[in-house]
Chain A
Amino acid sequence: MTTVADNGVNVQALLEAREALQGAPEAAQFTWRASATWRNGVHSTIKVQSFFGLGQEQGHKEESVFDADHPAVFAATDNGITPIEYLLVGLASCLTAGVASVAQNRGIQLRSVEATVEGNHDIRGILGADSDVRNGYNDIRVTFHIDADASRQEIEALVAQSQKRSAVFDALTNPTDVTVEVA
C-alpha cells in the first residue's frame, strides 16, 4: 500500500477526542439548539447557530436558516420542505458522514457515496382521520450507492457500522424523552 485513503475526515482528531473524553464525561455533554419563528400559515423559519459542548458555549461559524412549510397538496404555500422531511435530511447526512468516517478509519478510499432515503407516511394519522394510524413514519428505507476501493462485504460493513454509531439513526429507532412546555 503506497496510497493512504483520504476521505477528508480527520479520524485522528476523533480518536484523540474519544480517548480524552473517556476520562472526562462531563466535557462530552453537548446541547444542540434550534429556534423557530412562525411566519404565516404552516410556514416557519428555523435558525441554528449556537450550541454547548466541551464545557462551554460554542457556535457555528455562520448561522443557518431553514424554512419549513408544507406543499401545495396540503393547501399550503410551500416555502420550504416539510418538518418530517427534515428528519430524512438528518438521517441521510448522519449516515453518510458515518460512512466517510468509518471508511477513513478503515483505510478505505471512497470515490462516491449517494444515499436515497424514503419514509413511508400515512397522513391519516396527522389528520386525525384514523386513530389507529400513527403520526410519524411507518418505516424508512435508506439505499446507499457507494463506489470505493473495497469489496461488497467491506462496503456493507461500512454502512452497518455507520448505523451503529449514528446519532440520528438512534434518535429515530429508539424512544427519546421529549418535553414540550410553554415558557
Chain B
Amino acid sequence: MSGERVTTVVIGAGHAGLSASHFLRGRSIDHVVLERGEVANSWRRERWDSLRLLTPNWQSRLPGQHYDGPDPDGYMTTAEVTEFIERFAKVSGAPVRTGVNVTSVRRTGDGYRVTTSDGEIRCRTVVIASGACNQPAVPRFKDAVPGEAEQLTPFGYREPAQLPDGGVLVVGASATGVQLAAEIRRSGRPVTLSVGEHVRLPRTYRGRDVLWWMEASGVWAQRYDEVDDLTRARRLPSPQLAGTPERMTLDINALTSMGVELVGRWAGMRDGRALFSGGLRNVFSLADLKMERLLDTFDEWAQAAGPAGRADRSGAEAGPPERFPPTRVPAATRLQLDLRSGEIRSIVWATGFRPDYRWLDVPVLDAKGQLRHEGGVAGSPGLYALGLPVLRRRKSTFICGIEDDARELIDHLACYLAGR
C-alpha cells in the first residue's frame, strides 16, 4: 500500500486510540487506527491472570458507551475489559487495521510518513495512543542478581503456580507489587516485599469506593496545568488498590497481616547480596500523610457539597468520615538479603513500566525517553499523544478519563488542520 494518504494516523487500538477515532469520525476527519496485535492487545497478552480493573464497573465509560451489566460495583477482569473495548471498537466502527506494526514515524514536509509492516502511509497528523506501559522498567542492577533466583516481570508473570517453590522477593509496592505479593503469599510461598515510595489508598471510604470520591470531589478532574508538581504527578506510582469482589483494602498493613515480610527500597547489589534502604519508615510516613491529606480533601468537599451533592446514584448518604491506622513499622527490617543462599527462589520486578518509542523518529523525547508534550500536544506540529499519566487531567490513564482528553485533543487537531 505504498503511497497511501490519510489525514490522521492513530497508533494503537486500545481505549485511547479508539476514543481518538470516535472524535475524529465525529469531525469527519479521515483516519486509520493501526494496531500491532488485536484490539485491546495489552489487556489480552501483557497482564497477569488475576488482574482486574482498579475502577469499579460503573466507572467504565467510553465515549457513548457505559457498563450496563448486573454488577456496577464490581471490577472487570482483563477478559471483560477486552470485551468492553472490543465492543466499543465495533459499535463506533473504528477503521482499525490489526496486525500492523508501526516501525517508524518521520516528519515530512507537511506531515508525517508512517512506515509499517504493511507499507507506508503519509498523513498530516499522528495520534500516539500506544500506551504508557509497553515494557517493564527494571533497575540495571538486575544483571548482578545471581542465577539462583529466577527473575520475572509482570509481562512474564501469569500466576503463582509458575514460580518455583520457596521464597519470593517482590520488588515494588504500587498496585502491581501489592497485588502480586498478596496472591503469591496466598499460594503459601514466603514473600518479601521491597517497598519504596508508594501511594496508599483504602478501597472504600465512608462506604463508597475510594475512586467514587476521586471523581465526585473533582480531584480526578484536576487539570495538568493546575497540578503543583506535574513532573512528580506524572511519575507517581499507581495507588495500592486491587479490584477484588470483597472490595478489600490492599495496603501495607493488609500485607503485613498476611505475613508478608517488608524491606526497604532495593538500593543495589553487592557480592550477591541485595541491599535495601533503611528509609522504610519515611516512605510509610509520606504515604500515610498523603492519604490523610487526600481524605481531608474528600471530607471538605463532602461538607461543602451537602447531602444532595454527596448522595450516590441510589440517593444514599455517605458514611461518617474515617481515619485509618498508620502503616505499622516492622520491629526490625533486614537491610540485606543473600540471594545465593537459596532463601529467595524467584524475584518479581514490579518496578513500573515505560512506554516504547523506538519507532518514533521525531525529536520529541526528553533525556529519559519520555514524550515531551503540553497536555498531549507534542513538540512537533500535528503530533499528539493520548493515554499517558496526567496527560490533561489526573484521571487521564483511567478508562473513564479518556473521553475528555480525546475530545479536547481532537479539537486541537482539527483546529491545526484548519490552519487556525
Contact = CB atoms under 8 A, between A and B. Distances in A.
B292 A153 contact: yes
A65 interface: no
B286 A174 contact: no
B370 interface: no
A173 B279 contact: yes
A164 B278 contact: no
A160 B275 contact: no
Interface pairs A-B: 3 shortest CB-CB: A173-B278, A173-B279, A174-B267
B282 A164 contact: yes
Interface string A128-169: 000000000000000000000000010011011101100001
Contacts of A156: 285, 289
A89 interface: no
A172 B278 CA distance: 8
Interface residues of B, number: 17
Nearest to B290: A157
Where chain B touches its partner, the secondary structure class is mixed
**Size bracket of the A interface:** 10 to 19
A153 B277 CA distance: 25
A53 to B, nearest CB: 20
B279 A169 contact: yes
Q: Which of A157, A161, A175 has the most CB of B within 10 A?
A: A175
Interface in A24-46: 25
Nearest to A163: B282
Nearest to A162: B282
A39 to B, nearest CB: 33
26 contacts: A25-B367, A153-B292, A153-B293, A156-B285, A157-B289, A157-B293, A160-B282, A160-B286, A160-B289, A161-B286, A163-B279, A163-B282, A163-B285, A164-B197, A164-B282, A164-B286, A169-B282, A170-B279, A172-B278, A173-B278, A174-B267, A174-B268, A174-B275, A175-B268, A175-B270, A175-B275
A173 B367 CA distance: 28
B237 interface: no
Given A175-B268, A175-B270, 12 more contacts: A153-B292, A156-B285, A159-B285, A160-B282, A160-B285, A163-B282, A164-B197, A170-B279, A172-B278, A174-B265, A174-B279, A175-B267
